Structure 1
Amino acid sequence: MSGSAIESTHFSCRDFDVWRESINVVFDVERRSQDGNRPFTASVEAFQLGDMVVTDAVLGAQRYVRSSARVRRDGMDHFVLNLYRTGGWRAETARGEFEGRAGQVSVLDLSCELISDEPDCHLVAMFLPRSLIEDRLPNLGGLHGSAPTGPYAMLLAEYLDMLARRLPFLHSGDETALAGAACQMLAACLAPSLANVEAARPGLELVLLRRAKRYIEGHLNSSALNIDAICNIVGVSRRTLFRLFEQEGGVLHYIQGCRLE
């Protein structure tokens, strides 16, 4: 168990056969031919958020497989969102071949076939039942193997990264809100209607606030640090920026506090 009050488990090993047995509940895995003689390591921290599971993992290179026989046998009806902090993937599905790189989110449907070759990576993954998102996203069939693009996809990636970094320090009781926010962010990313974006506003604003704070903290000594520069970098209006920093006493107050500190 980690220091978090949210239910969590930790697993690590350097034996690929041990890892194969552990991950077998979801994927069949193989060593890629070019990586067969390299040392292997796996370290996974998993957090339970209601019906969701979020994992933060550092993994050696491998091939993940969900064959048609495997799909029929285990009947898993979940989606997986993968955010690659480092590494990437090259996947084969019935719809064709897909590639992705670090910083992107990929979407996998575990009720479908898959072969994915992945190098060493640092990966955040969110496993969620289809029932949590099928009402928000009616066209789920086309998501398998995809990597959403656009501004909302970038915000979704930042949210998953922020969630994984915060989970070890959050307390029990936050799980329902966190799971709901993640579903709302996913819906706003993949189907950016007015209703979906409005429902995802709390999660979106958390990400925008984090983006603004990181920019401020990285440019405290710059004479060019001002309201307009922050708005341009974060991609928001002055009004939205001021609202984001209301709990901080205002954006200028936050800047002054950082400089004094």
Structure 2
Amino acid sequence: MTGEADIEERRGQVFCTSSVPARESLEFWHDAVLATLVGMDIRAEGGTYDATMRTDRLGELRITTVDCDPGEVHRGSGYVARGDGTEVFVAVQASGTAQVEQDGRYTELRPGDIAFFETVRPYRTRFPERFQLKIFAVPRGLLGQPESALGRITARAIRPVGGLAALLSPFMARLADTSESYSGPVADRLADSAVGLLAAAAAQQLDTEPAELPGAERVLLLRVQRFIRWHLADADLTPAAIARAHGISVRYLHRLFEQEGTTVVHWIRRLRLQECRRELPDATSMGSVARRWGFSGAPHFGRAFRREYGTSPTDWLLGERARLSPEAS
């Protein structure tokens, strides 16, 4: 077993699961996350885990970049009660996607998106594909917001489509990649600038906060989304079936998703495509993967894939296999 003391020696450096036997990789990673970030449960298929972490400090900021296999993390009330949540996490999704739940809200992070995580309340995040995440741990007082306000900006995707978000996302990502290059007064000034931008982003989120669904509707929407994820492989997962399972009308179901800026059909299709994309590089049959995740066959899957990603699954797969081949290293 890898102990916490062993992990402590690695803080501020790069370490990865390849440094231990494969059977110990998930336990090693659990200890690393506990020592470097906060306590949380980590689940992955197969019981082994391929992950790398680089952590550094820049002024008041702790910056951690993780590059990991698919999986799920859950910071439950037991971990929260241990009192290690002295910071607010601001995460930049560098690659892959993340499905985040906190404070009764759910959002999906795509590459370039930014999100706030509150560490004094439970949260759950699912990563359906390999991903890279850049996490900035910010002392909560530096954001200039009361506790009640911080609880209103978690689990909201800040898209880098314009304004402050378009400036903040690439700046924070680049800062994480180059943090080791800075020291002394330069490092302190960059950290101050980053904290100022993050505080401005938090304030802007509160100023432009969209109208919340009523509390009961929010709970219902989360329940519907969980139901969809549990039944994602079911080819009969239709709006009518979902509405019937929850005792609501199809019209009301569509209304719940409309207020989230999407449709129930698109939400299902996107999750299915993510699962297919995760399996395709190791699959022998594209059609079998497509049918396993609710598509009628390869043609149906191919049309949906091209509509979502702008390329065919065959071309995407060729690019992935070329990228992952030893000759490409």
**TM-score bracket, shorter-length normalisation:** 0.5 to 0.7
Q: How far is the alpha carbon of 1:148 from its aligned partner?
A: 2.0
Which of the numbers 101, 116, 127 marks the counterpart of 2:137? 127
Question: Within 1, Cα distance between the matches of 2:200 and 2:57?
Answer: 23
Structure 2 counterpart SS, 1:74: coil
Which stretches in structure 2 are left out of the alignment for 5+ residues? 1-10, 19-24, 206-329
Q: Which structure carries more helix by proportion?
A: 2
Map 1:54-203 → 2, pairs under 5 A: 54-118=63-127, 119-134=129-144, 139-149=149-159, 150-192=162-204
Q: 1:120 to 1:51 in 2, by over 3 A?
A: same
Q: Which residue matches 1:11?
A: 15
Question: Which digits, 9 at most, give the CA deviation of each residue in 1:21-53, with x for residues without a partner?
Answer: 111241323224xx326x622211111123320
Question: Within 2, Cα distance between the matches of 1:86 and 1:77?
Answer: 27
Q: How far is the alpha carbon of 1:71 from its aligned partner?
A: 0.8
AA partner of residue 86 (structure 2): D
Question: Which digits, 9 at most, give the CA deviation of each residue in 1:175-198, with x for residues without a partner?
Answer: 3212211111112323349xxxxx
Q: 1:148 to 1:136 in 2, by over 3 A?
A: farther
Q: 1:91 to 1:53 in 2, by over 3 A?
A: same
Q: 1:91 to 1:135 in 2, by over 3 A?
A: closer
Greater relative contact order: 1 or 2 (C-alpha under 8 angstroms, separation 6 or more)? 1
Q: Which runs of 4+ in 1 moved over 3 A?
A: 135-138
Question: Which digits, 9 at most, give the CA deviation of each residue in 1:215-247, with x for residues without a partner?
Answer: xxxxxxxxxxxxxxxxxxxxxxxxxxxxxxxxx
Q: How far is the alpha carbon of 1:57 from its aligned partner?
A: 2.4
Q: 1:10 to 1:152 in 2, by over 3 A?
A: same
Q: How far is the alpha carbon of 1:11 from its aligned partner?
A: 1.4
Q: Which residue matches 2:34?
A: 24
Q: What is the TM-score normalised by the length of structure 2?
A: 0.51
Q: What is the TM-score normalised by the length of structure 1?
A: 0.63
Question: Within 1, Cα distance between the matches of 2:147 and 2:198?
Answer: 9
Answer whether contact 1:13 1:43 (CA < 8 A) is retained. yes
Structure 2 counterpart SS, 1:76: coil
Question: Within 2, Cα distance between the matches of 1:112 and 1:13?
Answer: 28
Answer whether contact 2:63 2:137 (CA < 8 A) is retained. yes
Q: Which moved more, 1:144-153 or 1:100-109?
A: 144-153
Q: Which residue matches 1:232?
A: none
Q: How far is the alpha carbon of 1:84 from its aligned partner?
A: 1.4
Map 1:33-44 → 2, pairs under 5 A: 35-36=45-46, 40-44=49-53
AA partner of residue 22 (structure 1): A
Q: How far is the alpha carbon of 1:166 from its aligned partner?
A: 2.3
Q: 1:93 to 1:135 in 2, by over 3 A?
A: closer
Count of residue pairs the alignment pairs up: 184
Q: Percent identity?
A: 21
Q: Which structure carries more strand by proportion?
A: 1
Answer whether contact 1:71 1:112 (CA < 8 A) is retained. yes
AA partner of residue 11 (structure 1): F
Question: Within 2, Cα distance between the matches of 1:88 and 1:30?
Answer: 17
Q: 1:165 to 1:30 in 2, by over 3 A?
A: closer
Structure 2 counterpart SS, 1:188: helix
Question: Within 2, Cα distance between the matches of 1:166 and 1:114?
Answer: 29
Q: Which residue matches 2:270?
A: none
Structure 2 counterpart SS, 1:83: strand
Q: Which residue matches 1:51?
A: 60
What is the alpha-carbon root mean square deviation over aligned residues? 2.5
AA partner of residue 171 (structure 2): Y
AA partner of residue 163 (structure 1): L
Q: 1:138 to 1:29 in 2, by over 3 A?
A: closer
AA partner of residue 172 (structure 2): L
Question: Within 1, Cα distance between the matches of 2:146 and 2:178?
Answer: 26
